[in-house]
Structure 1
Amino acid sequence: MRRLLLALPFALLPFTVAHAHDDHDHDHGTLGAHEHGVAKLNAVLDGSTLELELDSPAMNLVGFEHAANSDADKAKVAAVRQQLEQPLTLFGLAAAAGCKEDAQVLESPLFGDTAKADDDGDEHQHGHQHSDIGAHYQFNCAAPEKLAQIDLAPLFKAFPATQKINVQLIGPNGQKGVETSPGKAVVTF
């Protein structure tokens, strides 16, 4: 499942380096900066296979980054996980493309995983750990030629604290990077 997205960081490195200086909020000098309100989405359409990989600070999705200790926090994490388990309601894909989910992997320290803690692993200057949530989906599309765009409006609506999604696309027309927002939520291949 990972073969397409493994090449993505290398294919898009020039784009990432060119835009790394635009991120001043939580930069710490790394390319994989953790910035509240901003998520990343990698989308690869290769033949009939569509892969989507969403990486977001937990703050954008659940409203906090600490371990879920209270019943209210645990309920919020469970609700967000349930939303993420239904990607066809979060990503607007053309029905005519006939995309069906083949596989999904959800990762976050909030889900009991330890692998998705922020890259630097140190406490942030505000005195708390960063927690990210990662979601990787693979779809098989019966008519991939009809998949011309992805509408992220349902994702923005489901998680209103997400103000911007930086999208990296690789598809039949090449590769590109697009910055989306609730008012500009459609990306085309």
Structure 2
Amino acid sequence: MNFQRAFSGLALASLLAAAPWATMAQTQQRAHVHGQVKLDVAIDGPAIVIAMESPLENFVGFEHAPKTDAEKKTAEAAVAQLRAADQLFKIDPAANCKLGPIALQSTALGLGKTEAGTGAAEGHADLDGTFAFNCTNAAAAKFIDIGLFTAFKGMRQIDAQIVSREGQFKRTLKRPNSRLAWGK
């Protein structure tokens, strides 16, 4: 678990440090927009790390701790889908990646350690995650097919930042486009 946090933290830190737009984003309060997901993708050495920020609503249709049996089942199903991240994030086969450590955080769902201000403030709960993939040739990756639109009907837009050896890229995906591509 400590390796997972250290690995995910280092990869995400390098992504944010390298991204020129990150400074502006860090100084502003996190936006909470239903239907919208933010992804930060770092391709570094043998790893590809995807950090995701999203309103809980996008995954389960509500923004509070599950109260009914139906809400509990919906939340459990969403978490199970996210834990099978290799089905949601299909990385370019040229990179030859296997799913590694996953960390999910949601105050409303009781997942992971969450920082103050990232939980259910003013009724706005989030579900964030970090998904690490171990690859034999991460630099060869030129795209990720993202299955979030198919798996979670509440999502309408994905805003992504990608940092790779080839540079830094910003992309926006809207239904039905699900291929996040980068490079020159």
* TM-score category of the 2 structures, normalised to the smaller one: 0.7 to 0.9
8 Å Cα contact 2:18-2:163 kept in structure 1: no
Measured against aligned partners, the alpha-carbon deviations of 1:22-68 in whole angstroms (never above 9, x if no partner) come to: xxxxxxx9341101010100100012110011111000111000110
Question: In 1, Cα distance between the equivalents of 2:65 and 2:120?
Answer: 15
| Other structure's SS at 1:32 match | coil
Question: In 1, Cα distance between the equivalents of 2:100 and 2:120?
Answer: 32
TM-score, normalised to structure 1's length? 0.82
**Among the aligned pairs, what percent are the same residue?**
31
Q: Which range moves more in the overlay, 177-186 or 58-67?
A: 177-186
Q: Which runs of 5+ in 2 are unaligned?
A: 1-6
Q: How many residues align?
A: 173
Measured against aligned partners, the alpha-carbon deviations of 1:59-114 in whole angstroms (never above 9, x if no partner) come to: 01110001101111111000000000001100121234220122110111232146
Q: Which runs of 5+ in 1 are unaligned?
A: 21-28, 124-128
Partner of 2:107: 109
Question: In 2, Cα distance between the equivalents of 1:59 and 1:110?
Answer: 11
> How far apart are 1:12 and its partner, in Å?
2.6
> How far apart are 1:135 and its partner, in Å?
1.2
Q: Which range moves more in the overlay, 74-83 or 174-183?
A: 174-183
Measured against aligned partners, the alpha-carbon deviations of 1:116-163 in whole angstroms (never above 9, x if no partner) come to: 67549642xxxxx111001101111112243111112x2111012110
Of 8, 11, 16, 1:4 maps to: 11
Question: In 2, Cα distance between the equivalents of 1:180 and 1:53?
Answer: 16
TM-score, normalised to structure 2's length? 0.84
Of 162, 176, 187, 2:155 maps to: 162
Question: In 1, Cα distance between the equivalents of 2:121 and 2:102?
Answer: 29
